[in-house]
A = this chain, B = another copy of it.
Amino acid sequence: MPKKSADKQSTSRNERALALMKVLVERYIRDGQPVGSQTLAKDSGLSLSPATIRNIMADLEDMGLLESPHTSAGRIPTAKGYRMFVDSLLTVKPLNSREVEGIKQQLYNSTDTNLLISQASDMLSSITHLAGLVTIPRRERVLLQHIEFLPLSSRRVLVIMVVNNQEVQNRVIHVDRDLSQSQLQQAANFINAEYAGLELNTVRDRIFASMHDARDAMHKLMQEAMTIADQVLDIQQDEDYVLAGQTNLMNYAEMCDIDKLRQLFEAFNAKRDILHILDQSIHAEGTQIFIGEESGYSVLGDCSVVTAPYKVNDEVIGVLGVIGPTRMPYERVISVVDVTAKLLSAALRLE
């Protein structure tokens, strides 16, 4: 039965090729040098001669998984090669409990959301020695808790809005008629009594609906106040992220090209592209990995991004992750990102 034999053979061949692929990628990630047939022969555990390994590597190169920088160098993984590595070959290395404990310590000690976010970013960066990033959480539901109007100079009113238990937003608005302190108080009282505890969107809509004539200065004030609600919502939507440890990236040989580095840093400053990438993963379930230009941005040519969403009450409210050279230790980074996302979620729930 030649068929069966062929099958078995080709399966085992294939498996062997994959095993070699795995060892090669791991090796390259470890020391950043192109890997040659001899090295691989010694390192793979399989007892194969360099010549055989060369044949196999040639196959892998034909498949587009490997490439050689030049004829007389070893081989390095292509983006496609990394992709198949993380998809099928990777053995994720879970963090040991001491490490998990360390992250917990850091995150559970602080109460302020913003502090928490930036600490999470610091953690990611210091553990992985890559750049860590965490998006500012956005909450779908913004509940009005309390509103306050304070007169500043004439016709300028400071609006203070407490939402979601303890977040305070404030803004100065201009009104086109002088309003007395008691009038302002009255307006605030009305809103607080009538609408506290409702979602900001709802409050806004109801106020607009019930007062659509809006000739009365007081109504106008309230309406204007509610446009702040819009802005608050906008700010929530208009995302931002916290970045830590960019300088870590300077340590990688791949990044020695100062011009590339500059472009990358400029992308960090511009934020738009990075945010777009993070956006892509906000609706994904678990850890996501973008390798090289998969992200669609050429600045990230030699970079990979590993992300995971974090949530409160089963609702995804942000994304965190790291960014580093394609040649990063995925098996570790993935765990770190994953665990940090989970712990940050837990820490936020406590608030």
Contact = CB atoms under 8 A, between A and B. Distances in A.
Given A148-B148, A247-B262, A250-B258, A166 B160 contact: no
Nearest to A156: B166
Nearest to A265: B247
Contact of A152 (B166, B172, B265): B166
Interface residues of A, number: 25
Identical subunits present: 2
A266 B269 CA distance: 16
A246 B247 CA distance: 12
A251 interface: yes
Contacts of A218: none
A260 to B, nearest CB: 10
B247 A269 contact: yes
Given A145-B150, A152-B166, A162-B158, A111 B261 contact: no
B172 A111 contact: yes
A284 interface: no
A168 interface: yes
A256 interface: yes
Interface string A134-155: 0000000000011010101000
Nearest to A153: B165
A111 B165 CA distance: 28
Given A160-B160, A258-B250, A168 B166 contact: no
A269 B265 CA distance: 14
A170 interface: yes
Contact of A266 (B247, B256, B258): B247
Given A146-B150, A265-B246, A166 B172 contact: yes
A251 B258 CA distance: 9
Given A158-B168, A250-B265, 5 more contacts: A146-B150, A158-B162, A158-B166, A166-B172, A256-B258
Give the 7 A-B residue pairs with the shortest CB-CB distance, closest first. A168-B170, A250-B262, A247-B265, A247-B266, A247-B262, A158-B166, A146-B150
